[in-house]
Amino acid sequence: MRTIFDLHRLIAWLEMQPGDKEYCFEDTGNCLLGQYFKSIGEMDSEGFIGGTFIKLRSGTFDLPISWRHIARGRHVLTRGYNYTFGAALKRARKESECACGSESAWSHASANRSTGGANQSANHKA
């Protein structure tokens, strides 16, 4: 059985997209994750991506926070703001560098900033 949220597979897909191509985060069918899940046959006209969940052909799943960060970055959403596949690829690679289980590389970066890096060895496996 394959994993729906395979970060390496998402990165491989992002590497094939034009880096300067924009996507609209708020358009479920054409947002980054909508396009990705369509490409692997998991999303159809019944699919839906909510803030914290995603409805695919194989079921409804909690959307990992790391995938939300990849798709939208860390800033507050601004209506009409477009995102690029190149920027999403950078965010996905950052997530893949963290070998910390289900936690997000973004949360580790925030923790490291707030403690002056004291959490770095505790948050990252050697």
Tens of pLDDT, residues 75-114:
655 554 558 999 999 999 999 987 454 444 444 333 333 3
Bridge partner residues of 105 (DSSP): none
**What does the pLDDT look like over 83-92, one tens digit per residue?**
899 999 999 9
Band (72; pLDDT cuts 50, 70, 90)? confident
Q: How far apart are CA 105 and CA 95, in angstroms?
A: 5
Q: pLDDT (tens digit, 9 = 90+) per residue, 53-66?
A: 888 988 999 989 88
**Token reading at 126:** 């050697």
Q: Is 70 in contact with 11 (CB distance < 8 Å)?
A: no
Share of the chain above pLDDT 90, in %: 34
**Residues of the chain above pLDDT 70, percent:** 69
Q: How far is CA 80 from the centre of its chain?
A: 19
Distance CA 75, CA 98 (A): 20
Query: In the predicted model, is pLDDT for residue 9 greater than 90?
Result: yes
Beta bridge partners of 53: 62
